[in-house]
Amino acid sequence: MVKAAGGFFTVRTGSGEEYHCKARGLLKRGNSALMVGDRVIFKPDQGPAGASGQEGVVEKLIPRKNRLNRPPVSNIDQLVIIMSLKDPECDWQLISRMLVLAEKENLKSFVCLNKVDLLDQENLNAIIAKVNPYPYPLIFTSAKTGSGLDKLNKTLKGNCSVFAGPSGVGKSSLLNAMQPGLKLKTGIVSDKIRRGKHTTRQVELLALDNGGSVVDTPGFTRLDFQDLDQEELSSYFPEFEPFLGKCGFRNCMHLTEPKCAVVSEVGNSINPMRYEHYRYFTDELSKGEVY
């Protein structure tokens, strides 16, 4: 399924034909609610084609290999988190949130830092120092100048990827720069609130010339940890993995316990900013807060 909008779903067959479909009632609720990326079994209508082409009804959802609730997408190979380095400012905590949820679904992840053209070398060096070491690949790009687009394109080649991040960071602009024929609508950042305005209104799976595909999604600034247990959080920080089980206490939470192998590595192989995100998320989960 390549598009979902207004209660209708666009299904693309293996031969490239597209059908404008409705869904059976059970496929509209709960975990069975259809989302872009789903593989489905559908029945074409026998009547005249509608204005959008051939029509049909989705009959069955084929089991998913993975899913994200925000953005709502399934059966993807990798998550590409898009953030801007300026206008709007980079939200590193939101990046860590998305990475935790990707780890929960066993998704490969990359972080694309866009609008590098808005920074001078001194400020860019300060950011590089701030995130070093970082447990995920970082790709620095500029949709305006083309910097880093070759590397991003290689990352997308042959994979089904999802672009996720706030509005205004340049998700659609990057796709347009790599493949101008997409002609995706782009917007500007508000001078008053320094945030982007929504230009992508729906989740859509787009075919790329490099043999891959990408899901372009509406921007968001909040993301919660529904269905995530506090005790499992540390396993979703891959930089902790070499030290888990080596602490002085068997059930160490890696907070204030003595002889904690994780805490001892903060500032060395574990980035202090990432560790502070872990502490913040642990506190959030312990209080049962939802954002």
**DSSP-assigned beta bridge partners for residue 23:** 58
Closest CA relative to residue 14, chosen from 40, 33, 35:
40
CA distance 210 to 201: 25
Burial of 79 (0-12, 13-18, 19+ CB in 10 A): buried
**3-class DSSP state for residue 125?**
helix
Question: Which pLDDT tens digit goes with each residue over 220-272?
Answer: 666 778 789 999 999 999 999 999 999 999 999 999 999 999 999 999 999 99
Beta-carbon count within 10 A of 46 CB: 7
* Helical spans, DSSP H, in the chain: 92-104, 121-131, 149-156, 171-178, 272-286
CA distance 36 to 58: 13
Contact 9, 3 (CB under 8 A): yes
Contact 278, 237 (CB under 8 A): yes
The pTM assigned to this predicted structure is 0.85
Nearby residues of 149 by Cβ (< 8 Å), 6 or more positions away: 141, 143, 174, 177, 178
Helices 149-156 & 171-178 angle (0-180, nearest 10): 90
Query: What kind of fold does domain 3-63 have according to CATH?
Result: OB fold (Dihydrolipoamide Acetyltransferase, E2P) (2.40.50)
| Superfamily holding 230-286 | Probable gtpase engc; domain 3 (1.10.40.50)
Q: Encoding tokens for residue 35?
A: 């989302």
pLDDT computed for residue 198 by the predictor:
44
Spell out the per-residue pLDDT of the chain, length 291, in tens: 999 887 889 999 989 899 999 998 888 888 888 999 999 999 998 655 444 458 999 999 999 999 888 778 999 999 999 999 999 999 999 999 999 999 998 999 999 999 999 999 999 999 999 999 999 999 999 999 999 999 999 999 999 999 999 989 999 999 999 999 998 876 454 444 444 444 445 788 999 999 999 998 876 666 778 789 999 999 999 999 999 999 999 999 999 999 999 999 999 999 999 999 999 999 999 987 554
CA distance 179 to 202: 19
Which residue in this structure is represented by tokens 């299904």?
11
CA distance 41 to 9: 12
Max CA-CA distance within the chain?
A: 72
CA distance 141 to 81: 12
Give the total residue count for the chain. Answer: 291
Closest CA relative to residue 168, chosen from 135, 143, 204:
143
Q: Which CATH code of 3.40.50.300, 2.40.440.10, 3.40.47.10, 1.10.1200.10 fits the domain covering 68-216?
A: 3.40.50.300
- In the chain, what are the domain boundaries? 3-63, 68-216, 230-286
DSSP one-letter string for 47-78: S--BTTBEEEEEEEEPPPS-EEETTEEES-SE
Question: Which pLDDT tens digit goes with each residue over 98-117?
Answer: 999 999 989 999 999 999 99
